[in-house]
Amino acid sequence: MERLVAIFVFLIPLLVAKSAFALPDISNVNTRTVATNLELDGDGQTGTYTVLVADVTVDSPSAPSYTISIPAGDLTSGVAPVIGFQVAAVTSGSAPPTTFSSNWELCSSQEEDLDIYIQYTTATLQDPGTYTHSLFLSAVDNPGSC
């Protein structure tokens, strides 16, 4: 019986602390049609491409700040070599980014309108076909400021 009491002692404070935070609001997610027709080369040459793939608005009106994260990944077709990509985001309407990373993050205390980009490099003899990947954007409240 002592174990059960100890569990409740730890669970109650966690539940109370958790309810003080609200989830950030991710809205206005618009994917770009250009993301469905990515350049693949495959003709004995290789190329590096930067492509705008989505627009998104993130806000958390009931928390002091929040962190947005977007991990990189691989475009896959199931048979051909994968195409790794990096990610970055800039303020909506800004010039495309020049720096990309494997896990892009931003800590903010205000509404953010972002353009999300990927950058990838094709193989010298990249097989044609349908390559897919879903980007996952997470927004987490911070209990304090950035």
Residues 6+ apart with CB under 8 A from 37: none
Contact criterion met (CB below 8 Å) for 115 and 94: yes
Residue 8 lies in a domain: no
Q: What is the pLDDT of residues 46-97, one digit of tens each?
A: 889 999 888 888 877 767 788 888 899 998 888 778 899 999 999 999 999 9
The tally of domains found in the chain comes to: 1
Cα–Cα distance measured from residue 132 to residue 129, given in angstroms and rounded to the nearest whole number: 10
Q: Which of 104, 106, 105, 109 is nearest to 145 (CA)?
A: 109
Residue 36 lies in a domain: yes
Question: Mean pLDDT across the chain, nearest whole number?
Answer: 74
6 domain residue, yes or no: no
80, part of any domain: yes
Instruction: Give the domain extent around 95.
Output: 22-142
Q: Identify the helix (H) or strand (E) that includes residue 130.
A: none
In a domain, 95, yes or no: yes
Give me the count of residues in the chain: 146
| Domain of residue 95, CATH code | 2.60.40
pLDDT, tens digit, 9 for 90 and up, residues 23-42:
566 655 655 655 667 787 76
**48, part of any domain:** yes
